[in-house]
Amino acid sequence: MTLTMRAVEVQDDQSLKLVDLPKPEAKGAEVLVKIHAFGVNRGDLLQRIGRYPSPPGASPLMGLEACGVVEAIGPEADRWKVGDKVCALLPGGGYAEYAVADAGSCLPLPEGCSFEQGAALTETMMTVWTNVFDVCALKPGETFMVHGGTSGIGVSAIQMAKQWGCKVLTTAGSEEKCIAAKTFGADRAINYKTEDFEAVVKEEGGVDVILDMVGGDYVQKNINCLNKLGRLVNIAYMQGPKTELMLMPFMLKRLTMTGSTLRARTPEEKRHVRDGVERDFWGMIAEDKINPVVYKVFPMVEIEAAHALMESSQHIGKIVIKTG
């Protein structure tokens, strides 16, 4: 049995290099996963430049989600056995041929899905579930909006909200992306480069829940779009975390504004999210009601090209790396 693995490491000049590292060992409630594919996320770009480090105790490597086969099991791990195909949420370490994951952060690879498709599911679906369905309590019949409808998060959010029985609005940056968002289930896709999303949303009757990763001046516009008792959740601030707000609508419309990250949560908190996703949505993947959307698959040796594509925002769906 090999004791080393290939992994992607950030160099001092922020370039990426394939290196040989010791293979990790499963301890406690962990499982060791032989990774066949892993997802690329915008958080990886931030970690690469030193702005989103791994939580204490986690692998310093990039990589928030992976899909592969369980090779070893820690003494306190439950549910899984050697040979199981799993999709794993990771606090770090996914940019490698092996990674350890908490047993409570793993889901079974859905029937009919490839490893590459499985690598596109956990981070997005768990992020959407915890923010939209748990914290913001989106209800069937309500109207939901997600910004960036063709991002990995957006693709999952549109499909999940539609299956929940909601009207779905989204924003995207081109007509091609708006057309794609509609194929995922969006009732109205707004090209933010040619349309004022606030005006369009008001014409559509407002929204009850908004999932936003843009921040900046979008925050006030989001507040203006919300109906009474509306909920706004931010999971990133691509336009910056600072803005000036008119707070009167919070009182008049009794709004709720919140935000969260998933990476640094405890294993117990992540298990709660995992269980919610599995209960509410995971079975819909095998039933072809929710589909993983993989835009492009790169080999590990082309990790720089994968990051360049993510940086360009030209993709529709997930960018995935295969390790073989």
Q: What is the pLDDT of residues 141-183, one digit of tens each?
A: 999 999 999 999 999 999 999 999 999 999 999 999 999 999 9
Mean local confidence (pLDDT), 182-193: 98
pLDDT classification of 11: cutoffs 50, 70, 90: very high
288: left (phi > 0), else alpha (psi -120 to 50), else beta? Answer: left
Q: pLDDT per residue over 191-221, tens digit each?
A: 999 999 999 999 999 999 999 999 999 999 9
Is residue 35 within 8 A of residue 67, CB to CB? The reply is yes
Write down all domains in the chain, each with its CATH number in brackets: 4-121+263-322 (3.90.180.10), 124-259 (3.40.50.720)
186-195: burial string, b at 16+ Cβ within 10 Å, e else: bbbbbbbeee
What is the spatial distance between Cα 169 and Cα 161, in angstroms, rounded to a whole number? 10
Q: How many CB atoms lie within 10 A of CB 196?
A: 11
pLDDT classification of 1: cutoffs 50, 70, 90: low
Within 8 A by CB and 6+ apart from 153, the residues are 124, 127, 128, 146, 211, 213, 235
Q: pLDDT per residue over 217-266, tens digit each?
A: 999 999 999 999 999 999 999 988 899 999 999 999 999 999 999 999 99
pLDDT score for 2:
82
Mean pLDDT for the chain?
A: 97
pLDDT score for 14:
97
pLDDT score for 149:
98
What is the spatial distance between Cα 182 and Cα 53, in angstroms, rounded to a whole number? 35
Mean local confidence (pLDDT), 6-29: 98
Coil, helix or strand at residue 84: coil
